[in-house]
Amino acid sequence: MNLRAPVTLLDVAQRAGVSVATASRVLNGGDRVPRPELQERVRAAADALGYTPNAQAQALAKSSTNVVGILVHDIEDPYFAAIANGVMRAADERNLLVMLASTFRDAEREIAYLASLRAQRARAAVMIGSRRTDAESLARTASEVGSFLNSGAGLALVSQSGMPAHTIEPDNRAGAAELARSLAGLGWRKFGILGGPEALATARDRRDGFLAGLADSGLEPVAVEYGDFTRDGGYAAAEELLDRGADVDCLFAVNDVMAVGAMSALRARGIDVPGRLGVAGFDDIATLRDVWPGLTTVRLPLEQMGRRALELAIEGGEPSVETFKAEVVLRESTARA
């Protein structure tokens, strides 16, 4: 009740006329509990004084915390938000506190955050999103990942393989391949691919999968254009491709936000979708399910992937790899007249 009055366990114990040990036992549980009468006395004293255990001290004493970390590239990107949401729900169910960091796609920042989590003695961490395959920074990240693991904490990565930790992989290749076959089945023939940065495994896999799917249908892309893995990247790539005068009838963007950017670019040029050009994306971002024409895409169980990642990170054990299937969702943006 008083201003700035750090009430400690000792205060509570004294007011209740017991030892700190006893107070600790009733307020924390775990151990064999004291006699009912004492319990009440302690509890009464505790909230009379407005006692709040000092989590830092507890952590130090039992050398273990209940905090887990989440690393994402950008929490505003709905893809990451969805996965992070799954991690957070799972954490909440286990009474774990979450430290969330947005790395803004900066490898240095990411490494620094991981180190911070280690300093916090976090119980586990989940890293979401694929890293650029730049040899040097990848090595430095791997090194920090090693230290993290060695500290005894658990770790799981989503969409990033090659690290000695649990891995959750969306089946990007298979999903993209199936999408390609579905699109071909619909009658589309002249495909243009809007790829992401070559350094991102996720972007590469989706492109390659799509290519493989086309091949299955005896087709190959008319054009491939690359851009950032963002809305603006999709917009720019689409413009580029159009400027080059590529003779395409359907565009596949390696993720939904790029696809939406591309649709805006087409609209700006008065190109009707799907009338003159079909458009498809990947992810099935919930927030984008109401765009018009409805975007054909490949659905990923984002939230579940997040949940599972946390479970694996907490469980620890030998590194494992779990793949989550993707499912094609056909909507109006690729409907044939």
Letters for 204-233 (x = contact with a copy of itself by CB under 8 A, - = none) are ---------------------------x--
Which one among 14, 58, 137, 264 touches DNA, defined by CB under 7 A? Answer: 58
Beta strand pairing call for 327-329 and 297-299: antiparallel
Any bridge partners for residue 100, and if so which?
70
Residue 50 within binding range of a copy of itself, rule CB under 8 A: yes
Q: Is 66 exposed, middle or buried (0-12, 13-18, 19+ CB in 10 A)?
A: middle
Residue 113 three-state SS:
helix
Partner whose footprint covers residue 151, from DNA, a copy of itself, none (CB < 5 to 8 Å by kind) = a copy of itself
Q: By CB under 8 A, tell whether 115 contacts a copy of itself.
A: yes
Provide, rounded to whole angstroms, the least separation between the CB of residue 6 and a copy of itself: 8
When binding is defined by CB under 8 A, the residue of 12, 18, 84, 211 that contacts a copy of itself is 84
Residues 118, 45: Cα–Cα separation, whole Å? 36
Q: How many CB atoms lie within 10 A of CB 235?
A: 23
Q: Which two tokens stand for residue 330?
A: 């056909």
- Residue 67 touches a copy of itself, criterion: CB under 8 A: yes
Q: Which of 35, 36, 37, 9 is nearest to 23 (CA)?
A: 9
Name which position in 14, 34, 98, 335 contacts DNA (CB under 7 A). Answer: 34
- Binding flag, residue 323, a copy of itself (CB under 8 A): no
CB atoms within 10 A of CB 232: 13
Task: Answer yes or no: are the C-beta atoms of 156 and 312 closer than 8 Å.
Answer: yes
Q: Is 31 in the site for DNA (CB under 7 A)?
A: yes
Q: Please, which residue, 19 or 287, has the CB nearer to a copy of itself? A: 287
Taking the least distance from each CB to a copy of itself, the nearer of 63 and 245 is 63
- Of 73, 106, 85, the closest CA to residue 287 belongs to 85
Q: Would you state the structure tokens that stand for residue 59, as one six-digit string? A: 């952590």
Does residue number 99 form part of the binding site for a copy of itself (CB under 8 A)? yes
CB of 94 to DNA, least distance (A): 18
Q: Residue 332 has what DSSP assignment?
A: G
Residue with the two structure tokens 């947005």: 102
Are 46 and 27 within 8 A, CB to CB?
yes
Type and span of the H or E element at 157: strand 154-158
Whose Cβ is closer to a copy of itself: residue 1's or residue 337's?
1
24 contact choice in a copy of itself, DNA, none (CB below 5 to 8 Å, kind-dependent)? DNA
- Please confirm whether the linkage preceding 78 is cis (ω < 30° from 0): no
Q: How many residues bind DNA (CB under 7 A)?
A: 29
Inter-helix orientation angle 201-216/172-186, to 10°: 40
The residues that touch DNA, with contacts defined as CB under 7 A, are 6, 8-10, 17-22, 24-25, 27-28, 30-32, 34-35, 38, 51, 53-54, 57-58, 60-63
The residues that touch a copy of itself, with contacts defined as CB under 8 A, are 1-6, 50, 52-57, 59-60, 63, 65, 67, 70, 74-76, 78, 81-82, 84-85, 88-89, 92, 97-102, 104, 109, 115-116, 118-121, 147, 150-152, 231, 257, 260-261, 263-264, 267, 285-288, 290-292
